[in-house]
Amino acid sequence: MDILREKRAEAEREWKDFTSDKKSRVMVGAATCGRAAGALAVMDEFKRLVKEKGIDAEVVETACIGLCYAEPLVEVKRAGEPSVLYSKVSPKDVAGIVEKHLVGGEPCIEKAEAVMSDKPFKGIQTFAEHPMMRLQKRVVLRNCGVIDPSNFGHYLARGGYKGLENSFSKTPEEVIEEMKASGLRGRGGAGFPTGVKWGFARASKSADKYIICNADEGDPGAFMDRSVLEGDPHSVIEGLMIAGYAIGANKAYIYVRSEYPLAIERLKLAISQAEEAGLLKRKFENGFEFEIKIKKGSGAFVCGEETSLMASIEGVRAMPRPKPPFPANSGLFKKPTNINNVETLAAVSSIMRDGAASYAALGSEKSRGTKTFSLAGKISRTGLIEVPLGTKLGQIINEIGGGCPEGKKFKAAQTGGPSGGCLTGEHMDLPVDYEGMASAGSIIGSGGIVVMNEDSCMVEVAKYFVGFTESESCGKCVPCRMGTQHLHLILEKICNGEGEMEDLERLTKIAMTMKQSSLCGLGQTAPNPVLTTLKYFKDEYIAHIKEKRCPAMACSGLITYEVDAKKCTGCTVCERVCPTGAISGGPKKVHSIDSDKCISCGACYQSCKFNAILRH
Amino acid sequence: MHGNVYLKAIFKRNALEKLNMSESKNYRDILEKYEAKREYLVSAFQDIQEKDGYLSENAVKESADYFGISKADAYSVVSFYAQFKFRRPGKHIIRVCKGTACHVRGSGTLLAALEERLGIKEGETTPDGLISLERVACLGACALAPAMVVDGKVHARMTLAQLDKILKGLQ
């Protein structure tokens, strides 16, 4: 593309200069998670000290590199040396790092996580050999945490918009064929082949067509899309343009959660940069013209369902409608519409840049390419990862995630959020791809993996998810509206020790009814957490019902706490951590728990160093 | 008609609350940024809420007039979405994440502690109008659970000690 030629050449020069060995540089990871951990204060401190000491070093903001457990992360590069990644940096560590490393040339080994080079440096392991990185393959996350996401030039210099250029050298039909050849399947959860979907929308005849990027990442426990939008917004915009060209759409909406303010800010900036560069709102020589608008979501999980999402953009209640007609024929404003998820679009730009073959070479037979996952819950290395599909569950949990912290035992991993199911220790050799997950009764979904250990009660977890879908059910169809309510009521009863064995049959019956007769994906998948926990952890249900006992000691209705007067030293720790003020005693006196006020949260139990809190 | 009765009841409660935040008198400036097409209805409400902190009865009425729809219709749309509030929030807003990762890492304890310390339940505002306590769908800061947001700032890896420090700072 002629319009980008000059800009790209300039960007490449700038990038070369930016990454050159000759300059010192500090890069602070300041995506939402980094900021929550205090990255902005760390960045300010670096800026202040670098200025004060007159050091010739640039302090730059980048996004999330994925090692969220170690936030705030800072890369420090001294002229002529490789860049060292520091973890858990607090403002008070900054002076030491500046003094010792930037000025003195000695990296602070104790804070160093890895070195961003292909060789170890002064005893620090390389980033590629970092246990969390070793098995990863970054396609979608290629730029996250590497570039400054607000710098258009950085994206260009790393091959940005080359995918669009390559697409323009093909016919739209050829682009769709390329997409089919890559084997890319929709990363929003359903896993439908992207090329085939585009083919349907292409075949619909209409002067106006729409393409929508679904960035309403609603699964609790999932943050892949947020990281991509915050860390590499142009990859999504480029993907949207390629999709628009392929299906013949001229207008696009990005529907993004309002809970992601930083992602919205980055998207707005990226769109204005693309407009300024002449990529958007301008007719290309091949006649293609494209416009992107941002629509902020308003907190409705059901918008993950495409017909609901479209209703929401149209300004009505976001309720799904039966299909057909499919969006490819009659979607937004009754025009042919294609909806893709953030990650899918970010993969599209990379596939069109590097060719379908290199993408198809990754992954397993029917599930090609890579998938991002967010690791959260009771796992040592929480964060964002990208692995070839077909990587084994055990590799993800134990090798990448480092297993459960504090030596606790792994119990289950919930995948696919409230629509997914749980996997157990038996599934460690299960290939994590669309087929493998389906065989175990779960789904990949959008890619959230929440790990539970021995302290998590699976009945309570099922109750949590059903409680979530109950409040998010739009209420349009009876099976979902009533089904989620009744599942929730029964699970609550069981958790309080008031369940009966017949309840298990009731749960299954309601669950199956919902699966078969709900109108949309929300209701059809909402019973999955119940069904999989019933399948793999039936003994826990039975213990709650027959023995009135919660094996994981997590259901507050079934446990009581008291102070062991012989062991209590009167250290007051429990008194201070009690959220409801149920513990009294005072210094050096034996404490006691007021059972009326106690909510059985277990905070005292966990904090007592003398094992003086008894749990029944 | 029923919609209107319900609306009145909800907004009447608002009128009884004497708080020092004032509602915009004129919504025209916000509304006129948008074409009077239904697809901009939600966006306009988002802008109004951003300015006022909630949607007053007047805001719903004026917006409905501007977009040429009935008040009940407008209310049916905004009441569908969790984001919109019809009561004036406190000066500070604390939102506890109810995501899965936060749940398994103890957001329930965090919420219980907040309810105890503030003397209000989730969804309520302290009588002096200082603090509102809300829950929020997953913030996406799952790797640093449990998380909460105070006036737009995300606080991660929350502990009770940290909570007390934050609460002390709110005036």
Q: Residue B140's closest chain A neighbor by CA?
A: A223
Confidence of residue A601 (pLDDT cuts 50, 70, 90): confident
- Identify the pLDDT of residue A2: 80
The pLDDT of A511-518, averaged and rounded, is: 97
- Identify the pLDDT of residue B7: 55
Partner A contacted by B143 (CB < 8 A): yes
The pLDDT of A342-353, averaged and rounded, is: 98
Show the tokens assigned to A71.
Answer: 């936030």
Q: Are residues A481 and A606 in the same domain?
A: no
Q: Which 3 state secondary structure label does DSSP give A448?
A: strand
Of A300, A378, A579, the CB nearest to B112: A579
Are A374 and A222 in contact, with CB atoms under 8 Å apart?
Answer: yes
Contacts of A351 (CB under 8 A, 6+ apart): A163, A178, A179, A182, A184, A359
Tell me the CATH number at A469.
Answer: 1.20.1440.230
Q: Give the angle A428-A434-A436 at the CA atoms, nearest 5°.
A: 35
Q: Are residues A228 and A338 in the same domain?
A: yes
Report d(CA A389, CA A368) in Å as an integer: 7
Q: Are residues A237 and A106 in the same domain?
A: no
- Identify the pLDDT of residue B141: 84
- Percent pLDDT > 70 in chain B is 85
Q: Is the pLDDT of residue B1 over 50?
A: no
Q: Residue B36's closest chain A neighbor by CA?
A: A315
Report d(CA A241, CA A345) in Å as an integer: 9
- Percent pLDDT > 90 in chain A is 88
The pLDDT of B33-58, averaged and rounded, is: 94
- Identify the pLDDT of residue B18: 42
Tell me the CATH number at A572.
Answer: 3.30.70.20
What does DSSP assign to residue A109?
G
The pLDDT of A233-251, averaged and rounded, is: 98
In this predicted model, what pLDDT tens digit does every residue of A10-35 receive, in sequence order?
Answer: 999 999 988 887 889 999 999 888 99
- Identify the pLDDT of residue A390: 97
Tell me the CATH number at A230.
Answer: 3.40.50.11540
Report d(CA A423, CA A400) in Å as an integer: 17
- Identify the pLDDT of residue B17: 46
Q: Are residues A60 and A94 in the same domain?
A: yes
- Identify the pLDDT of residue A446: 87
Report d(CA A447, CA A346) in Å as an integer: 15
- Identify the pLDDT of residue B20: 39
Q: Residue B137's closest chain A neighbor by CA?
A: A220
Q: Following DSSP, what letter does each residue of B9-20 receive, concatenated? A: HHHHHHHH---S
Q: Which residues pair with A563 in a beta bridge?
A: A613
Cis peptide before B146 (omega within 30 of 0): yes
The pLDDT of A90-97, averaged and rounded, is: 96
Of B109, B139, B145, the CB nearest to A603: B109
pTM score of the predicted model: 0.92
Helix (H) or strand (E) holding A293, with range, is: strand A291-296
Of A37, A377, A579, the CB nearest to B116: A579
Four-residue CA torsion sign, A62, A67, A69, A73 = negative
- Identify the pLDDT of residue A335: 97
Confidence of residue B61 (pLDDT cuts 50, 70, 90): very high
In degrees and rounded to multiples of 5, residue A136 shows phi and psi of -85, 155
Q: Residue A377's closest chain B neighbor by CA?
A: B101
In this predicted model, what pLDDT tens digit does every residue of A309-345 receive, in sequence order?
Answer: 999 999 999 999 999 999 999 999 999 999 999 999 9
Q: Are residues A346 and A404 in the same domain?
A: no
Partner A contacted by B169 (CB < 8 A): no
- Identify the pLDDT of residue A159: 95
- Left (φ > 0), alpha (ψ -120 to 50) or beta: where does A515 sit? alpha
Q: Residue A469's closest chain B neighbor by CA?
A: B137
Show the tokens assigned to A197.
Answer: 């979907």
Q: Is the pLDDT of residue A457 over 60?
A: yes
Are B78 and B72 in contact, with CB atoms under 8 Å apart?
Answer: no
Partner A contacted by B70 (CB < 8 A): no
In this predicted model, what pLDDT tens digit does every residue of A372-422 receive, in sequence order?
Answer: 999 999 999 999 999 999 999 999 999 999 999 999 999 999 999 898 999
- Identify the pLDDT of residue B8: 58
Mean pLDDT of chain B: 86
Q: Has residue A533 been placed in a domain?
A: yes
Q: Which of A396, A426, A453 is the last residue of a domain?
A: A453
Q: Has residue A300 been placed in a domain?
A: yes
Q: Residue B108's closest chain A neighbor by CA?
A: A601
Domain containing residue A55: 18-116
Closest by CA position to A533, among listed A614, A456, A470, A469: A456
- Cβ <8 Å between A450 and B101: yes
In degrees and rounded to multiples of 5, residue B56 shows phi and psi of -80, 170
Report d(CA A224, CA A372) in Å as an integer: 6
Closest by CA position to A352, among listed A344, A362, A340: A344
Contacts of A542 (CB under 8 A, 6+ apart): A501
Q: Is the pLDDT of residue A581 over 90?
A: no
Q: Has residue A94 been placed in a domain?
A: yes
Q: Is the pLDDT of residue A181 over 70?
A: yes
Closest by CA position to A167, among listed A353, A303, A409, A23: A353
**Contacts of residue B155 in chain A, CB cutoff 8 Å?**
36
- CATH 3.40.50.970 for the B92-169 domain, yes or no: no
Report d(CA A453, CA A456) in Å as an integer: 6
In degrees and rounded to multiples of 5, residue A479 shows phi and psi of -55, -40
Are A541 and A583 in contact, with CB atoms under 8 Å apart?
Answer: no
Q: Are residues A334 and A243 in the same domain?
A: yes
Report d(CA A233, CA A274) in Å as an integer: 11
**Contacts of residue B110 in chain A, CB cutoff 8 Å?**
579
Q: Has residue A121 been placed in a domain?
A: no
Q: Following DSSP, what letter does each residue of A152-196 receive, concatenated? A: HHHHHHTTTTHHHHHHHTS-HHHHHHHHHHHT-B-TTTT--BHHH
Q: Are residues A529 and A570 in the same domain?
A: no
Partner A contacted by B35 (CB < 8 A): no
Q: Which 3 state secondary structure label does DSSP give A140?
A: coil
Number of domains within chain A? 5
- Identify the pLDDT of residue B104: 84
- Identify the pLDDT of residue A616: 85
The pLDDT of B113-129, averaged and rounded, is: 92
Q: Is the pLDDT of residue B19 over 80?
A: no
Report d(CA A527, CA A514) in Å as an integer: 7
Closest by CA position to A613, among listed A556, A573, A554, A558: A573
Q: Is the pLDDT of residue A463 over 60?
A: yes
Report d(CA B124, CA B132) in Å as an integer: 6
Report d(CA A103, CA A114) in Å as an integer: 20
- Identify the pLDDT of residue A607: 85
Mean pLDDT of chain A: 94
Q: Has residue A491 been placed in a domain?
A: yes
Q: Which residue is associated with the tokens 């039966």?
A: A322
Report d(CA B154, CA B141) in Å as an integer: 8
Report d(CA A306, CA A330) in Å as an integer: 12
Q: Are residues A421 and A304 in the same domain?
A: no
Q: Has residue A48 been placed in a domain?
A: yes
Of B39, B142, B156, the CB nearest to A37: B156
Confidence of residue A72 (pLDDT cuts 50, 70, 90): very high
In this predicted model, what pLDDT tens digit does every residue of A520-539 receive, in sequence order?
Answer: 999 999 999 999 999 999 99
- Identify the pLDDT of residue B9: 55
Nearest-neighbour CA in chain B from A178: distance (Å): 33
Domain residue ranges of chain B, discontinuous segments joined by +: 2-78, 92-169
Confidence of residue B119 (pLDDT cuts 50, 70, 90): very high
What does DSSP assign to residue A489?
H
Partner A contacted by B31 (CB < 8 A): no
- Identify the pLDDT of residue A272: 98
Q: Residue B50's closest chain A neighbor by CA?
A: A258
Nearest-neighbour CA in chain B from A376: distance (Å): 5
Closest by CA position to A299, among listed B139, B131, B38: B139
Q: Which residues pair with A614 in a beta bridge?
A: A562
Partner A contacted by B40 (CB < 8 A): yes
- Identify the pLDDT of residue A391: 97
- Identify the pLDDT of residue B3: 45
The lowest-confidence range among A98-107, A204-213, A261-270, B12-21 is B12-21
Closest by CA position to A121, among listed A11, A21, A222: A21
**Contacts of residue B77 in chain A, CB cutoff 8 Å?**
315-317
Are A222 and A262 in contact, with CB atoms under 8 Å apart?
Answer: no
Confidence of residue B101 (pLDDT cuts 50, 70, 90): confident
Q: Which of A325, A359, A393 is the last residue of a domain?
A: A359
Nearest-neighbour CA in chain A from B74: distance (Å): 9
Q: Which residue is associated with the tokens 């929440």?
A: A450
Strands B92-97 and B131-136: parallel
Strands A291-296 and A251-256: parallel
Tell me the CATH number at A34.
Answer: 3.40.30.10
Four-residue CA torsion sign, B53, B58, B62, B63 = positive
Report d(CA A214, CA A240) in Å as an integer: 11
Q: Is the pLDDT of residue A166 over 70?
A: yes
Q: Is the pLDDT of residue A238 over 90?
A: yes
Report d(CA A432, CA A529) in Å as an integer: 18
The number of CA neighbours under 13 Å toward the Cβ of A292 is 30
Q: Are residues A354 and A384 in the same domain?
A: no
Report d(CA A529, CA A464) in Å as an integer: 9
Report d(CA A409, CA A383) in Å as an integer: 20
Most confident of A19-23, A429-433, B4-8: A429-433
What's the residue count for chain B?
Answer: 171
Nearest-neighbour CA in chain B from A510: distance (Å): 23
Are A579 and B160 in contact, with CB atoms under 8 Å apart?
Answer: yes
Show the tokens assigned to B30.
Answer: 């916000």
Confidence of residue A543 (pLDDT cuts 50, 70, 90): very high
Q: Has residue A7 been placed in a domain?
A: no
**Contacts of residue B43 in chain A, CB cutoff 8 Å?**
295-296
Q: Is the pLDDT of residue B21 over 60?
A: no
- Cβ <8 Å between A221 and B101: yes
The lowest-confidence range among A156-160, A423-427, B98-102 is B98-102
Show the tokens assigned to A461.
Answer: 């977890």
